[in-house]
Amino acid sequence: MKTTRLTAVIPAIGIAICLAITASCSLRRRAETPRITLDCSPTAVLDRFDDDRVCEALLRHVCASAAWRVTGDSGIMVAEKRCRGPRTDAEHAAFAKKPTHLSVKLHFDAPRARVPSVGGQDVSVAEPGAPAVRVALSRARDASGTLDSLVLLKGKRLVLEILECNPDPDRPLTRKAIDEVSAEFSAIRSSVDVVLQRGYLRKWLPDNSIRESPADLPIEIADVREGLPSGVFWVSGYANTGEKGYVTIRSFDASTGEELGGAYNHSTVEYIGWSANLREKFFFESEVTVPGDRAKKKVRFEVWFHANGKKDRRLLETTRVVPTWTR
């Protein structure tokens, strides 16, 4: 009997010890996690976008801006800052080699927003306008020496997400993003009527956000790896359908008509700007993978437009001989 009881007690003691050690390690990690304080007071403007009309103005502006890329999944709209505005293959290669990284995203439906969960990393959550936000810094698991931080400013209808990977603990990229985004959104909030009438606030658009032409403009194709054919491309161009909607980019074997990138099309969804002046063409750009066996192939790239309740239609196309991608 004593042996049976002892056998039952030993595993329980072991589990209790393991739980205590785990809790102790967790507390130690939390105590050792470096933290800094950020002034997020400029972001109070996020909660001034408090009804459908002003949120629609903000959405129209970021759709029109080449500085932002707007996507949507299950009706939840997300605008993400492009890393360096419209990207070329050379710019992307240079960006990839940098030890720092910044990601800025704006979620348009705060109650349903799919905010990230970064494994092992503390997420610093605050309300827009908070004057002193304690931000946790997590050390990268590799040998890069970077410190990672993720800040979520969760408002009534908008969520601003800022991820910074940088050896500098002072979070200079996060501070700059807070100031720039807040200034841009404040200008939009003060000019809602102008944005809804014209489709954007011109002062806050990068120069290459809009091209004026009575005719369609050609699609641009650039390999994402400078000088190294990869089968993955930046496909960019300009369009204006005069109505709200999104574009996708499809690729086909020009000889057989077989669609090549069907499984990858969803990643090319981008809501683009629109206005009543159809001479204005708004920038779009997506990364497009053309699967194959690395051999060169004659490929037709097509840009399609999709609007709720309407038939999809093809806007642009171009044919190129390009290398294909394989694992």
pLDDT score recorded for residue 294 = 85
Residue 264, pLDDT > 70, answer no
The one-letter amino acid code at 86 reads P
Computed over every residue of the chain, the mean pLDDT equals: 84
Which residues are bridge partners to 166 per DSSP?
147
Query: pLDDT by residue (tens digit) across 39-72?
Result: 999 999 999 999 999 999 999 999 999 999 999 8
Q: Residue 46 half-sphere exposure, CB side, CA atoms within 13 Å?
A: 30
Nearest alpha carbon to residue 277 among 64, 6, 24, 18: 64
With bands split at pLDDT 50, 70 and 90, how would you rate the model's confidence at 33? low
With bands split at pLDDT 50, 70 and 90, how would you rate the model's confidence at 281? very high
Which tokens is 283 given?
A: 């920038």
pLDDT score recorded for residue 180 = 97
Phi, psi of 8 (to 5 degrees): -75, -35
Query: pLDDT by residue (tens digit) across 126-155?
Result: 999 999 999 999 887 766 678 999 999 999
Q: Is the pTM of this model over 0.75?
A: yes
Residue 88, pLDDT > 90, answer no
* Domain positions in the chain: 34-205, 208-323
pLDDT score recorded for residue 126 = 95
Nearest alpha carbon to residue 85 among 209, 204, 197: 209
CATH architecture of 208-323: Sandwich (2.60)
